Structure 1
Amino acid sequence: MTPTPHTPPATDAATLLNQEMRGILVANMLDKFPKMTAEFAHRGVGQMLAFLAAGVSGPAPVSPSPMVDDFWHAFLLHTKAYREFCASRLGKFVDHQPGFLDKEEHGGGKALRARTVEAITASGYIVDLEFWPELDIAECSQCHASCHNSPKYNTAQII
């Protein structure tokens, strides 16, 4: 009988960050978005960390969803903790560089988010699809129809 490969269960990436800093980020998000629940904020921290960890391990560019990006922004404001996390857990500093990737080379927004979710899965982390809603919408690339950096986008309305 041929042994079947065993896939270990996915890991919650929130465990990459110490409990104190996770609590600070959750509190920051709850202050910024009063309609957000603490449970959602905890899950969001995990998805942001999964995005960061997956991004350093793959050769292709990845992109956060608008919600995940809000959590990333909260972490970036704690520059010392963010820098230390990058160095100790990711092995390099992850710059936040907003911008547009060439659609011909990298695909549109939906393709980029799908690749990001695949990278998170391949890295062994839990994917919480509630934080990647773009996978359920039409293909677009930064058209200001409630996409990332859109004047119409507002996390508090989504939650």
Structure 2
Amino acid sequence: MSMTTEAPVTRDARDLLTAEELAAVSATVQLNNPGMALSVAESIVLEALKFEAACAFNPGARLKPSRVVDEGWHALILHTRIKARLAERLGLFVHHVPEAPDTSRHDPHALAQTQDAIRAAGYTPVSTMWGGPTDTSIPVAASCEHSPAPPEGTCTGDCGNTGPN
């Protein structure tokens, strides 16, 4: 008897928003980053969507975006109607925990864990978008990394800490 294994389904983050919604959020990234090419802004938003999906599929995990992806996530958060529709599609509203920038809290394992969660959710992270807080190869206005809020009732310590539990 031979066993066949199917390749994992690869999802496209573009399927999470309409073309109009993606354009609106990408335009916000561009507005916050004068001179940024639309293709770069859109790529940042697509990574933020993958992050959002990974958080929705792993509600107890302490996932976090890179500084670059955080730029796209903040733009998405500003579009509350789009974010609400996305939450309906994903089955969970991912909350944001605002924190003051502090690169000393950076945990490189958290970014790797987040990329693993993105892969597990069926998406392929773009590695160049997932550098640490001092990586400026993709210049963005965001100066920090944030994490989604833990599910209600699960916080047992510093709920603003961006590191994994």
Task: State the TM bucket, normalised to the shorter chain.
Answer: 0.7 to 0.9
Question: Equivalences for 1:1-159 in 2 at 5 Å?
Answer: 2-58=2-58, 59-86=60-87, 88-99=88-99, 109-134=107-132, 146=134, 155=140
Give the superposition deviation at 1:4: 2.8
Question: What is the rounded CA distance, in whole Å, between the counterparts of 1:33 and 1:113 in structure 2?
Answer: 23
Q: Sequence identity, in percent?
A: 33
Task: Give yes or no for contact 1:33–1:155 (8 Å, CA) kept in 2.
Answer: yes
1:126 to partner: Cα distance: 1.7
Farther off after superposition, 111-120 or 75-84: 75-84
Q: Following TM superposition, by how much is the alpha carbon of 1:34 offset from its aligned partner in structure 2, in angstroms?
A: 2.1
The answer to whether the 8 Å contact 2:13/2:46 transfers is yes
Say whether the 8 Å CA contact 2:48–2:69 is kept in structure 1. Answer: yes
| Structure 2 gaps, min length 5 | 143-165
AA matched with 1:33: N
- Once the two structures are TM-superposed, the CA of residue 73 in structure 1 deviates from its matched residue by 0.8
Q: CA RMSD in A?
A: 2.5
Q: Which runs of 4+ in 1 moved over 6 A?
A: none
Matched-pair contact (CA < 8 Å) for 1:83–1:93: yes
CA deviation vs aligned residue, 1:56-76 (integer Å, no higher than 9, x gap): 212321001111111111111
**Following TM superposition, by how much is the alpha carbon of 1:42 offset from its aligned partner in structure 2, in angstroms?**
1.6
Tell me the distance in 2 between the aligned counterparts of 1:40 and 1:129: 14
TM-score, normalised via structure 1 length? 0.74
> Residue 30 of structure 1 contacts residue 37 of structure 1 at CA under 8 Å; is this kept in 2?
yes
Question: Does the residue aligned with 1:155 lie in a helix, a strand or coil?
Answer: coil
Offset at residue 84 of structure 1 (A):
2.3
Summarize deviations over 1:3-62 as a string: whole Å, max 9, x none. Answer: 331213522212211110100111111122123221111211111011011112123210
Does the 8 Å CA contact 2:56/2:93 hold for their aligned counterparts?
no
8 A Cα contact 2:63 2:114, kept in partner: yes
State the TM-score, normalized to the length of structure 2.
Answer: 0.72
Amino acid at match of 2:113: R
Deviation at 1:156, TM superposition (A): 5.4
Secondary structure of the residue aligned to 1:133 is coil
Q: Is the 8 A contact 1:54 1:120 kept in 2?
A: yes
